[in-house]
A = this chain, B = another copy of it.
Amino acid sequence: MSIAVSAPGVSPAVGTDQGPRAGAATDVVRMGVVGFGYWGPNIVRNLNALDRCHLMSVCDTNANALKRAQKNYPGLHVTTDVTDVLRAPDIDAVAIVTPVWTHFDLAKAALENGKHVFVEKPFTSNSAQASELIELAARKNLRIMVDHTFLFSGAVRKIKQLVDDGTVGPLYYFDSTRVNLGLFQHDVSVVWDLAPHDLSIMDHIIGQTPEAVVATGGKHLNHLADMAFITVYFPGNVTAHINVNWLSPVKVRTTLIGGRDKMLVWNDLEPDEKVRVYDKGVQITNGQGVYDLLVSYRSGDVWAPKVESTEALSLELGYFVNCVLEGTTPSNDGEAGLRIVRLLESAEQSLNNRGQLVVL
C-alpha cells in the first residue's frame, strides 16, 4: 500500500478507500503503533522484523516508555501525540495496543483516517462499539484484525487441524484453565482480562455459534471479579467451560478437549509436548433396564505431535500485513472480535447476577 514516492501531503494511503493496487509500490505496509506498555514492545519487535512492513512511528503518553523504545530502536520516530500516528499521511495501518476502554476511539479515528487497524484483544468495551467499527471499516474498505494471538500458536494450529481433519471425532467439550497470581487490571475484571484468550480459542476450535452463557465467580479484593467460571452452551451438547483466576498461587494453562474418538490435553507451560492426543474413549450402549447399560472404555496409546514453535505474534502480524496487501479478510477480523466481546458481555452479566442464563 505504501508508495515509494508520493507528492507531499497527498499520500495515496490516506483516504483512498480502495483495496491494494497493482504495482511494485504495494509491497510494503507502513505501520504506526499506539501503546508501548506491556504488550506493545512485542508488537514493535515483531513488526520490526517483518520484511514487508515499515515501522514508522510509536506513540505512548508515557515518556519513559518512549525512551525505552528509542533505546532499543534508535532512529525510530516516537511521539506522545496520538494524532501524529492516526493522521500521518505516510502510515497505512495502525496497531492499537492500549487499554480496552480506549480501543473504540482510537480505532475509529484510525479508520476514519483511512488506516487499517490491528487492535489488541478484547476488541472493544462492548458489542455496540465493535459493530460500529466493523461497519466503518467495511464502508472504507479497510481491514480490522483483532489480536487473538493464541490462534497462531503451534499448539492451537495443531489442535485445529486434529479437530478439522476428523481425528478427534465429534466434539464433546472444551475445558480451559488459565490461572495465576495477578496481574490485576485496574479497569476490567478477570473475565475481560484473561477469558478473551480462552473464548477466542474456543470460538476457533469449536467453530459453531454458541447458544447461551452462564458465569459465576467471586470478587475478593475490590469491585471487580478476580475469579470466574464460564460455561458456554453450544448446539448438540457441546459444552465449553473456562476457569480464569487472578488469585492462584500457581500458574496453570491447561485445556482439555474431549471428542468421541480422541481426547486432547494442551498444557501450554510444557516446553515440549504441549499437545497430547489420547486414544481414549467411552462407549455406552443402552440395554433394556437401567442396569443393562453396557459401558466400554478404550485406552490406547498417547501421542505428542510435534508442534511448530514459530512465535505466534510473528505469524499473526505477517498475516495482517498480507491481508492488508492482498485486500483479504482475516479470520480473526472484526466479526471474530465482536463474537468474543458478546461472550464477554454475557459472561460479565451472568457473573454479576449469580449465574443468570444469558441466551445469545
- A212, A214, A251, A291 — most chain B CB neighbours (10 Å): A214
Which residue of the partner chain, among B184, B248, B258, B295, contacts A249 with CB atoms under 8 Å?
A: B258
Given contacts A216-B241, A219-B237, contact A249 B273 (CB under 8 A): no
Given contacts A247-B173, A355-B214, contact A181 B280 (CB under 8 A): yes
Can you identify 22 A-B contacts, CB atoms within 8 angstroms? A74-B74, A74-B75, A172-B247, A179-B256, A181-B280, A182-B295, A182-B297, A184-B282, A186-B290, A186-B291, A214-B214, A214-B216, A216-B355, A217-B239, A222-B293, A227-B241, A231-B355, A249-B280, A251-B271, A301-B305, A304-B304, A355-B355
Contact with B along A46-87 (1 / 0, CB 8 A): 000000000000000000000000001111000000000000
Give A229's nearest chain B residue, CB to CB: B241
Q: A182-B282, A214-B355, A248-B258 are in contact. List 15 more A-B contacts (CB 8 A).
A: A73-B74, A74-B74, A173-B218, A173-B247, A183-B295, A184-B284, A186-B291, A214-B354, A217-B239, A218-B237, A221-B282, A221-B284, A301-B306, A355-B355, A355-B356
Give A297's nearest chain B residue, CB to CB: B182
Which 4 A-B pairs have CB atoms at the shortest separation, nearest pair first?
A214-B355, A218-B239, A249-B278, A249-B263
Give A219's nearest chain B residue, CB to CB: B237
Give A309's nearest chain B residue, CB to CB: B299
Instruction: For A302, list chain B residues within 8 Å (CB).
Output: 272-273, 303-304
**Once the chains are docked, how many angstroms separate the CA of A303 from the CA of B305?**
8
Instruction: For A250, list chain B residues within 8 Å (CB).
Output: 256, 265, 272, 278
Is A152 at the interface (CB under 8 A from chain B)? no
The reply to whether B182 and A220 form a contact with Cβ atoms under 8 Å apart is no
Within 8 A of B (CB), among A147-194: 172-173, 175, 177, 179, 181-184, 186-187
The reply to whether A263 and B248 form a contact with Cβ atoms under 8 Å apart is yes
**Once the chains are docked, how many angstroms separate the CA of A177 from the CA of B179?**
13
**Once the chains are docked, how many angstroms separate the CA of A123 from the CA of B247?**
34
Given contacts A216-B214, A301-B304, contact A271 B269 (CB under 8 A): yes
Is A245 at the interface (CB under 8 A from chain B)? yes
Give A99's nearest chain B residue, CB to CB: B291
Instruction: For A183, list chain B residues within 8 Å (CB).
Output: 295
Given contacts A214-B354, A302-B304, contact A172 B290 (CB under 8 A): no
**Once the chains are docked, how many angstroms separate the CA of A221 from the CA of B258?**
12
Which residue of the partner chain, among B219, B283, B304, contacts A303 with CB atoms under 8 Å?
A: B304
Instruction: For A299, list chain B residues within 8 Å (CB).
Output: 181, 306
Instruction: For A241, list chain B residues within 8 Å (CB).
Output: 216, 227, 229, 243
Instruction: For A297, list chain B residues within 8 Å (CB).
Output: 181-182
Is A233 at the interface (CB under 8 A from chain B)? yes
Within 8 A of B (CB), among A289-341: 290-291, 293, 295, 297, 299-306
